[in-house]
Structure 1
Amino acid sequence: MTQLQLEIVQASDSEADDLVTATANASPYFLSGWRRAVQKVYGHQAGCLLARERASKQSIALLPYSVFKRPLQRPRVISQPFADYSGVLAINSELNHLLEASFRAQLGQNAVELRHSAQEISPQPEQLAKVRMITQLLAGQDALLASYKPKLRSQIKKATKNGLTAELSTDSSAIQAFYQIYASNMRRLGSPAHHPDWFQYLLEYYPPGSLQVVLVRLAEQVTGAAIVLINGNQAVIPWASTLAEYNHLAPNMLLYWTIQSYLADRGVTTFDMGRSTPGEGTYRFKQQWGAQPYALDWQLHQPGAAEGSALLQSDKATSGTRKVLEQLWRCLPQSLANQLGGQLRGYISL
């Protein structure tokens, strides 16, 4: 492998997406729709480096990125902002480390942030700051439901007995319904919400059917909502929210069952349930669905530095200042929180 003669070029969206769809186990985050939406909504210049074998012109690896600019700070190249996991995608995992340095060299004198993930289950997750929780889905919803413990099946049934219903949609109106639940939940958590255009452009830029909106209702009232991204046999859920006043009806259980039953019937085998802190509530919630922890390792590479430095830290290390800001954000009227969040969120790369 070390004898490969490579050329590294800027990829077109179609070139990059062809490689993503042809590469086994490629996360939907690698599709061009993600970085295109970053540039369109928040103005961070997007690009994608492509490595080709010089003689055959075969594409073998890529690195999607955005040049992330904050006021009064030097630009940072991030692969990719707002995503849990990105970095180098190669047709052979052995190529990832080999090509990473070559890709970084093409990005000039910029600091480069790469969001890596382990490809194997972490044996000691309690020692990690952050993990992504991944569950392997059985083929078909009947087999999937039968694999759950009786308590989990009972919780799913409880939601429907409580009068909740669920639906999947790819309509723009579903994005609007999702946003109302998402924005309300983000204010409750004390965190700025994305601009509503972010979700609309993801819907526009992702391939048809690869972005699904899931809505849970009590009569006409939406009580829970999520967005799922799909590429081949891989799916990821970047956002899921419920209204706290309806949580006693178990909308989260119906939300996640609806998603996973749909994915199982569609032939998706790997469902990335997103970033969690080991031992905390969301971690335990995902565990009950069979999700296993895979270490996240975000590395910042400064120009000239031989090694990168770790970026992720546990929520337990949250500063006092951040806690105060979160509390102040919770006190904002919803409309003001939405307006300010849309302006600020583009500078927060998480």
Structure 2
Amino acid sequence: MWPAGRPFGHRPYFLYAETNGEIRGVLPLARQKSLLFGDALVSAPFCVYGGAAATEPDARTALEEAAVELGERLGVGHVEFRNLTPRRDDWVRRASYATFRKAIAAAPEQNLLAIPRKQRAEVRKGIDRGLVAHAGGEPDACWELYARSVHRHGTPVYARRYFRDLASAFGADCEFFFVRREGRPVASLLSFYFRDEVLPYYAGSDRAGRDGEVHPFMYWSLMNHAAARGARRFDFGRSPVGSGGYAFKKNFGFEPQPLAYEYHLVRGKHAPDADPKSPKYALVVNTWRRLPRWLANRLGPWAARQIG
């Protein structure tokens, strides 16, 4: 939750449940005021997953009720819980997103064979064309490729310092990963490690990186690198149902798992429509895509804080 507070200016709230002096659960929240989605208390902005983490059911329920009470006291439009699985029948639920997770092998060839034929051929093409992947590098270099990529998609970019702050906050659990062609970086990833899992979070590429083999090669290479670090699961992150990212991950051999984002309505009449495929956002996306990149990079951090 620290990254949601410092770079974006959202006020964090940290709830915890304890019994006899022992902490039994925690629930991180942040108040996010957005021109698009209104005033909300969210667990957690800029994250795929959220909600309470507890060692016992009573603690989790108590934390959820405390979050609802806080939201009502603050007078927000709604309280949002980005749950992995459904929690409450009395909350509004949206199934706009799915996540993609599966086990990875220690042997690169096994990871390659687990990829369906079409994408496996792209990985082999990347190998044949001399692509090279490596971990390590500067946050700014990763951000530059990410900024180019999101501009092409019509999405505001985060501030450059956000990547620096993540590296500082998470240390060795935050890693920058690059793909190079003839020595020049063409694609990058910012990934997190948690227990035995790797989570590629922010991906970017320049125009050369849009060649069909670059991203399949990059993700396969990350699987192998992460396995060498001790990871046994690969969390491909969320994608809107029916989107290009959703199709790519399915074609890479991952099965979608619907995410149960749930909302307790306070002052709002309905849950926010956060689906980026919604027609009402088409004009915004197309306009942003046409901005000069220098201007998009200047305005992006202000706009990005609205849509976490």
- Paired residue type of 2:165: Y
Q: Which residue of 2 aligns with 1:117?
A: 84
128 and 344 in structure 1: CA distance in 2 versus 1, 3 angstrom threshold = closer
TM-score of the pair, normalised by structure 1: 0.76
Q: Distance in 1 between matches of 2:305 and 2:242?
A: 29
Q: Which residue of 2 aligns with 1:344?
A: 303
Q: Distance in 2 between matches of 1:94 and 1:242?
A: 45
2:47 to 45, 64, 83: 83
Q: Which residue of 2 aligns with 1:132?
A: 99
TM-score of the pair, normalised by structure 2: 0.85
Q: Which residue of 2 aligns with 1:195?
A: 159
Q: Is the 8 A contact 1:133 1:272 kept in 2?
A: yes
Q: Distance in 1 between matches of 2:282 and 2:261?
A: 23
- Within 5 Å, which residues of 2 pair with 1:195-344? 195-206=159-170, 208-248=171-211, 250-303=213-266, 310-311=271-272, 314-319=275-280, 322-344=281-303
- Paired residue type of 1:109: R
Q: Per-residue displacement from partner, 1:203-250 (whole Å, max 9, x unpaired)?
A: 1111x2101111111123221111111111233222112223442361
**Cα displacement (A) at 1:109:** 1.4
- Tell me if 1:50 matches 2:19: no
Q: Is the 8 A contact 1:277 1:315 kept in 2?
A: yes
- Paired residue type of 2:279: T
Q: Distance in 2 between matches of 1:257 and 1:93?
A: 38
Q: Distance in 2 between matches of 1:328 and 1:114?
A: 31
Q: Per-residue displacement from partner, 1:97-131 (whole Å, max 9, x unpaired)?
A: 46422343355513322111228xxxxxxx94221
Larger RCO (CA under 8 A, 6+ residues apart): 2
Any gaps of 5 or more consecutive residues in structure 1? 1-34, 120-126
Q: Is the 8 A contact 1:65 1:77 kept in 2?
A: yes
Q: Distance in 1 between matches of 2:40 and 2:143?
A: 29
Q: Distance in 2 between matches of 1:70 and 1:247?
A: 32
Find the residue that maps to 1:157 and give its secondary structure: helix
Q: Tell which deviates more after alignment, 280-289 or 194-203.
A: 280-289
Q: Per-residue displacement from partner, 1:253-310 (whole Å, max 9, x unpaired)?
A: 12101211122222323322122233432222212333221212323323489xx954
- Paired residue type of 2:178: L
**Cα displacement (A) at 1:325:** 2.1
Q: Is the 8 A contact 1:130 1:276 kept in 2?
A: yes
Find the residue that maps to 2:305 and give its secondary structure: helix
**Cα displacement (A) at 1:252:** 0.2
- Paired residue type of 2:282: K
Find the residue that maps to 2:259 and give its secondary structure: strand
Q: Tell which deviates more after alignment, 214-223 or 87-96.
A: 87-96
Q: Distance in 1 between matches of 2:143 and 2:195?
A: 26
Q: Is the 8 A contact 1:301 1:309 kept in 2?
A: no
Give identity over the alignment, percent.
23
- Paired residue type of 1:324: L
Q: Distance in 2 between matches of 1:65 and 1:281?
A: 30
2:129 to 145, 162, 170: 162
Q: Distance in 1 between matches of 2:234 and 2:104?
A: 7
Q: Is the 8 A contact 2:156 2:297 kept in 1?
A: yes
- Paired residue type of 1:338: N
**Cα displacement (A) at 1:146:** 4.3
92 and 134 in structure 1: CA distance in 2 versus 1, 3 angstrom threshold = farther
Q: Distance in 1 between matches of 2:58 and 2:256?
A: 22
Q: Tell which deviates more after alignment, 328-337 or 138-147.
A: 138-147
Q: Distance in 2 between matches of 1:333 and 1:304?
A: 38
Aligned residues: CA RMSD: 2.8
Q: Which residue of 2 aligns with 1:60?
A: 24
102 and 343 in structure 1: CA distance in 2 versus 1, 3 angstrom threshold = closer
Q: Distance in 1 between matches of 2:57 and 2:233?
A: 17
- Paired residue type of 2:301: G
Find the residue that maps to 1:113 and give its secondary structure: strand
Q: Is the 8 A contact 2:15 2:63 kept in 1?
A: no
Find the residue that maps to 1:42 and give its secondary structure: coil
Q: How many residues align?
A: 298
Find the residue that maps to 2:134 and give its secondary structure: strand
Q: Distance in 1 between matches of 2:239 and 2:100?
A: 7
